[in-house]
Amino acid sequence: MIRIVEKTKLDLLIAKAKGLPDDEGIRLLIEEQVASELITNGLEITGEKLEQVNAEIKKERAERARVATLLEAVEGKSNEEKVKHLFENDVSEELIIEMAKVDQGVIDAVKQAMEDELKEKQRLAEEEAARKKEEAAGPALEDIPPDEMLDYIESIRDIMEFSDKEKEIRVMCEQSSIPKGLVDIAVSEPDRLDELEKEAEG
């Protein structure tokens, strides 16, 4: 009698599993601890397919365990802080909603805040890059004092005696902290150096 009841339950389970979409039927039978051979025979699937679904379930369980550990680290924090922490650790929205027990509104608010924060970081980084570029370029020609201008021109001429290749000239000028504006003139309009020298000499 017991075996008949068990077979009837198994038949009903398999029938239910066959009616589920995608791999949900396989997952149902795995969760119900149905033997592998009965699953493959009952659902007419290969052993490889069953192994694939088992691997996916194992991976999902590992991810849930990881998320649980992440949540322990922010226990007592606000929902927004929890959600941000999970996002920063590459947790999916679906799992955040389920395990952090928050609604879509909190998710959207945190995503917007993080987007705004990222934009601000990018803006500051761009400003810093522009500042460094400006520093590297050195002062504009009109801002260079005459005595410094003469020193720069002398250094450029020394460098150009050593090499006539633009790349090498630029590298050596940069190493000598010569303003980029002067270097551009040296490699594109070297005759202008004479004019600038005369102007600097007064």
pLDDT in tens, the chain (202 residues): 557 777 888 888 889 989 999 899 999 999 999 999 988 998 998 999 999 999 999 999 999 999 999 999 999 999 999 999 999 999 999 999 999 999 999 999 999 999 999 999 999 999 988 887 776 666 677 778 888 888 888 888 888 888 888 888 888 888 888 888 888 888 888 888 888 888 888 7
Look at phi and psi of residue 178 and say left if phi exceeds 0, alpha if psi is from -120 to 50, else beta: beta
CA gap 111, 39 in Å, rounded:
42
The two three-digit tokens of residue 20, written as one number: 């589920």
CA gap 192, 182 in Å, rounded:
10
Instruction: Provide the sign of the torsion angle of the four alpha carbons 12, 16, 19, 24, taken in this order.
Output: negative
Nearest to 112 by CA among 76, 74, 90, 83: 83
The answer to whether the beta carbons of residues 173 and 159 sit under 8 Å apart is yes
User: How many contiguous H segments (helices) and E segments (strands) does the chain have?
Assistant: 11, 0
User: Token match 């309009």: residue?
Assistant: 189
